[in-house]
Structure 1
Amino acid sequence: MKKIAFLLTSIFMTASILSSAQTESKNPFGLVYGDAITENVSGKVNIHPVTYKLNGLDIAANVYTPADYDPARKYPTVVLAHPNGGVKEQTTGLYAERLAADGYITITADAAYQGASGGQPRQVDKPANRIEDIHGMADFISQYAGVDANRMGVLGICGGGGYTLKAAQGDKRFKAVATLSMFNSGEVRRNGFQNSQIATIQERLQQATAARAQEAAGAEVIYTGLAQPTDEEISKIPTDLYREGYQYYYRSHAHPNSTFKYTMSSLLDLMTFDAATNMDLINQPLLMMAGSKADTKYMTDEAFKKATNAKNKELFLLDGASHIETYWKPEYVNKAVNKLVDFFGKNL
Structure 2
Amino acid sequence: MKKLIITITMSIIAINSVSAQYHQKAEENPFSLVYDGAITENVKGKVNIYPVIYKLNGIDIAANVYTPANYDASKKYPAITIAHPNGGIKEQTAGLYAQKLAKAGYITITADASYQGASGGEPRHTDKPQFRTEDIHGMADFISQYSGVDTNRIGALGICGGGGYTLKAVQTDKRFKAVATLSLFNTGVVRKNGFLNSQVSTIQERLNQASEAREQETSGGEIMYSGVDGITDEALAKVSTLFYKQGYEYYFRTHTHPNSTFLYTTSSLMDLMSWDATDNIDLIDQPLLMIAGSEAQTLYLTLDAFPKATNAKTKELFLIDGATHIETYWKPEYVSQAVNKLVKFYQANL
How high is the TM-score relative to the length of structure 2? Answer: 0.95
Task: Letter of the 1:111 partner, please give it.
Answer: A
Q: What corresponds to 2:303 in structure 1? A: 301
Rounded to whole Å, the distance in 1 between the matches of 2:10 and 2:183 is: 25
Partner of 1:74: 76
1:165-184 correspondence to structure 2 within 5 Å: 165-184=167-186
Paired residues for 1:252-263 under 5 Å: 252-263=254-265
1:246 to 245, 248, 264: 248
1:182 Cα deviation (Å)?
0.3
Whole-Å Cα distance in 2 between the matches of residues 177 and 238 of structure 1?
Answer: 34
RMSD between aligned residues: 1.2
Distance 1:139 1:228 in 2: 34
CA contact 1:13–1:225 (8 Å) conserved in 2: no
Q: Which residue of 2 aligns with 1:225?
A: 227
Q: Cα 1:173–1:13, aligned 2, differ >3 Å: closer, same or farther? A: farther
CA distance in 1, matches of 2:347, 2:10: 44
1:14 aligns with 2:14: no
Partner of 2:4: none
Cα distance change on mapping 1:244 and 1:13 into 2, 3 Å:
farther
Distance of 1:101 and 1:235 partners within structure 2: 38
Deviating 4+ runs (over 6 angstroms)? 10-13
- Return the letter of the residue paired with 2:22: Q
> 2:52 maps to what in 1?
50
The 8 Å contact of residues 19 and 230 in structure 2, kept in 1 or not, is answered as no
Whole-angstrom distance in 2 between the partners of 1:260 and 1:108:
19
- Segments of structure 1 that go 5 or more residues without pairing to the other structure are 1-9
Distance 2:58 2:39 in 1: 31
Partner of residue 211, structure 2:
209
Q: CA-to-partner distance for each residue in 1:230-281, whole Å, 9 max, x for gaps?
A: 2232232222210000000000000000000111100000111111111111
Query: What is the CA distance between 1:38 and its match in structure 2?
Result: 0.1
Q: Secondary structure at the match of 2:88?
A: coil
1:22-171 equivalences in 2 (<5 Å): 22-24=22-24, 25=26, 26-171=28-173
Secondary structure, aligned partner of 2:291: strand
Q: Does 1:326 align with 2:328?
A: yes
2-side partners of 1:77 and 1:292: how far apart? 28
Q: Deviations over 1:185-222 (max 9, x none)?
A: 00110000000000000000000000000111111111
Partner of 2:200: 198
Distance in 2 (CA, whole Å) between partners of 1:294 and 1:96 is: 22
Q: Structure 1 residues 155, 79: CA separation in 2 closer, same or farther (over 3 Å shift)?
A: same
Matched residue of 1:15: which SS? helix
Partner of residue 293, structure 2: 291
CA distance in structure 1 between the aligned counterparts of 2:234 and 2:278, rounded to whole angstroms = 35
In structure 1, what is the Cα distance between the partners aligned to 2:102 and 2:246?
A: 27
Instruction: Tell me the distance in 1 between the aligned counterparts of 2:279 and 2:167.
Output: 9
Write the distance in 2 (CA, Å) between the matches of 1:173 and 1:110.
21
Please state how far the C-alpha of 1:83 moved relative to its aligned partner.
Answer: 0.2
Say if 1:151 and 1:13 are closer, same or farther in 2 by CA, change over 3 A: farther
Does the C-alpha gap of structure 1 residues 13 and 295 become closer, same or farther in structure 2, counting only changes over 3 Å? farther
Aligned pairs, number: 339
Report the Cα distance in structure 2 between the residues aligned to 1:236 and 1:51, rounded to whole angstroms: 40
Farther-moved stretch of structure 1 (171-180 vs 14-23): 14-23
Q: Distance in 2 between matches of 1:203 and 1:11?
A: 18
SS of match in other structure, 1:118? coil
Q: What's the offset of the Cα at 1:11?
A: 8.6
Tell me, yes or no, if the aligned pair for 1:287 and 1:315 is still in contact at 8 Å.
yes
Shift of 1:333: 0.3
Measured in 1, the distance between the counterparts of 2:87 and 2:213 equals 20
Checking the alignment, whether the CA contact within 8 Å between 1:187 and 1:271 is kept in structure 2 is yes
C-alpha contact (below 8 Å) 2:154/2:178 kept by paired residues: yes
For residue 94 of structure 1, what is the amino acid of its counterpart? L
Distance 2:10 2:229 in 1: 6
Could you say what secondary structure the match of 1:96 adopts? Answer: helix
Shift of the alpha carbon at 1:12? Answer: 10
Selected match of 1:265 from 267, 291, 295:
267
Residue 101 and residue 335 in structure 1: after superposition, are their counterparts in 2 closer, same or farther (change >3 A)?
A: same
Q: Structure 1 vs Structure 2: percent identity of aligned residues? A: 68
- Distance, in Å, in 1 between the alignment partners of 2:290 and 2:84 is 15
Runs of 5+ consecutive residues of structure 2 not aligned to the other structure: 1-6
Could you tell me whether the CA contact under 8 Å between 2:156 and 2:179 is conserved in 1? yes
Normalised by the length of structure 1, the TM-score is 0.95
SS in 1 for 2:230: coil
Shift of 1:23: 2.2
Shift of 1:13: 7.3
